[in-house]
Chain A
C-alpha cells in the first residue's frame, strides 16, 4: 500500500512528431512522488521519446510537462540539478576509467565529498576492483552499472532510466531492482522504461504504451486482474477446461461447479502472466485499429 503525496511528473496532452510519424500522441499522465513508475511497451512505442521530452532533450510539438514542478525546457538549469538520467546506450567515455566517468558527471553537479560518494557508489555497484580500469575493457553489464552510477552520483530527486536492465543477466537485473526499490523508499521517484513485460510487476504503477499512445495506466495488481485464469480439471483422467475471469478470487465459484468429487484427481491453474495481459492489451488495440 503506497500513500502518494504529490506528483513528481505531470504530463498534459504531450505530442511529438518526427515528420509524419507521431512519436507521442496527446499523452497525459501523473507520476506520484517516491514511486517506481514503469513505462512498458514494445520497441517504437514512444518510451524513449517521452523520457527525452521529460529531461529537456527533446522539444514537444504541443502539450506540456512539469517535472518536480519545473518546465523541462524553460527551467532546465534548475531541473538538471535534481534529475538523474541513464540513457539506453551506456553513454560513457570508453577511454576513461569507471571512476573518472562518475567523477566527471559528479563534478558538474558540485557533489559534496564527491570522491567519497564515488567510492560508495562503486562499492554498491560491485565495481571497486575495476574502478580504475578503462571502461572500454568492461562487459555490457558492467558498463550499465557504471552508467547507473553516473546517474545516481549527485543524489537526484527523480531518476529517468531508459531500459536500464536490457541485456543484463538475471542476477544483475535483480540487483538493479533492489536498488530501485531502496531509492524509492528513500523518497526518490524512479521513472523507468522497459520492454520486458515481467518487470512491470516490480513497479508501483505502470503505463502501457503503443505507437505513442497510452493503452492503460494502472497498478501491476490491477493489471493482473484484467487477465484470465485457465482452470484444468482432470475428472477420471478426462481433461475439462474452464477459463475464469481475473485471478484467484473467482476460483472458488468456478470450482463449485465441479463439486470437487472424489474422482477429481488433479486441479491445475494457469493464470495469465502480466506479460500475457500486457500483450493482449496491445494486440486488442492492434485489432481495433485494423478493423
Chain B
C-alpha cells in the first residue's frame, strides 16, 4: 500500500505541475456543457432536454477521464518512466492503484464541477439526495473510465495508438447505451454491445434517479455492475500490464 500512495502522490504532484493539463481537464467539460446548453436552447420547447443533460455530462467526464488517463500512461511507457518504475521495485498493482488514487482527486473535481454547472445552467430543481446520488454515479463512472484508460493503455505502444480506441469504445457508448437513443428500439446485437459498456449502467441509474418516484433499490443492480467494472478492469489491467518485453 505504501508504494500505491507514493505513486498516487507523485501523480497528483505531476498534475499540479502541469497547470495547462489540469485546467483543460476541468475547464474543457464545462465549456462543452455550455455549448450543449446553447444547442439545446435552439430545440423546440416540446423536446425534453432535461433527461439528456446529466447523462451527457456524465459521458463528457467518462470520455475525458478515459482518454487523458490512457494517454498519460502511454506517455509513461514511451518516456521510459514506466519501465524505470518497475525496475525500481514498484509492482504492477502499486502502479495501477497509484494512478487510480492520483486520478481519484481529478475525477472528484470533474464530477463536482460538471454536475454543478449542469444543474445551474439547465435550472434543474433536484433535491440534495438526488444531487448526491447523481454525483456518486458520475464519480463512479469517472473511476471506471480511469481503469478503462489504464487497461487500454497497455495495448498502445505510443500515444497515436490510443486514438483508434476512441471510435471502438466511445462511439458505441454514444449510440448504444441509451445516451441519445433509447436502446429498446435497437437490434438485439446492438443492445448486447450496449450492455457491455459501463456508460449503459450509468445512464440507466441517472434516468432512474431523476424520476420523482425513484427508490434506491431500483438501481442497486446497476450500481453493483458499475462498481464491478472497477474491479473487473483492475484485474484486466493488472493482467495486461507487462513487466517484461
Contact = CB atoms under 8 A, between A and B. Distances in A.
Given A89-B80, A93-B14, A96-B17, A58 B87 contact: no
B89 A95 contact: no
A255 interface: no
Contacts of B243: 56-57, 76
A115 interface: no
Interface in A81-139: 81, 83, 85, 87-93, 95-96, 100, 104-105, 107-109, 134
B244 A81 contact: no
Contacts of A100: 10, 13
A76 B87 CA distance: 8
B245 A57 contact: yes
A95 B79 contact: no
Nearest to B15: A95
Contacts of A76: 243
Provide the main secondary structure of the chain A interface: loop
Interface residues of A, number: 30
A157 to B, nearest CB: 14
A160 B174 CA distance: 49
A226 interface: no
Contacts of A58: 244-245
Given A57-B83, A89-B79, A93-B10, A108 B244 contact: no
B96 to A, nearest CB: 16
Chain B CB within 10 Å, residue with most, of A55, A58, A83, A107 = A107
Given A73-B244, A92-B81, A81 B89 contact: yes
B245 A52 contact: yes
Interface residues of B, number: 21
Contacts of B245: 52, 57-59
A55 B87 contact: yes
Contact of A85 (B3, B13, B84): B84
Contacts, number: 68
A95 B6 contact: no
Chain A CB within 10 Å, residue with most, of B6, B13, B85, B89 = B89
B244 A59 contact: yes
Contacts of B10: 93, 96, 100, 104
A96 B16 CA distance: 9
A196 B14 CA distance: 35
A91 B86 CA distance: 12
A91 B88 contact: no
A95 B87 contact: no
Contacts of B34: none
A93 B81 contact: yes
Contact of A108 (B3, B13, B79): B3
Contact of A57 (B14, B87, B90): B87
Contact of B244 (A57, A83, A134): A57
B74 to A, nearest CB: 15
Contact of A56 (B6, B90, B244): B244
A80 B87 contact: yes
A66 to B, nearest CB: 17
Nearest to B80: A91
A104 B11 CA distance: 11
A81 B13 CA distance: 25
B84 A87 contact: yes
Nearest to B6: A107
Contact of B87 (A73, A85, A88, A134): A85
B166 to A, nearest CB: 25
Interface string B56-96: 00000000000000000000000111011111111000000
Given A57-B243, A81-B89, A89-B80, 8 more contacts: A56-B87, A56-B244, A76-B243, A80-B89, A93-B81, A96-B13, A100-B13, A108-B89
Interface of B: 3, 6, 10, 13-14, 17-18, 79-81, 83-90, 243-245
Interface of A: 52, 55-59, 73, 76-77, 80-81, 83, 85, 87-93, 95-96, 100, 104-105, 107-109, 134, 150
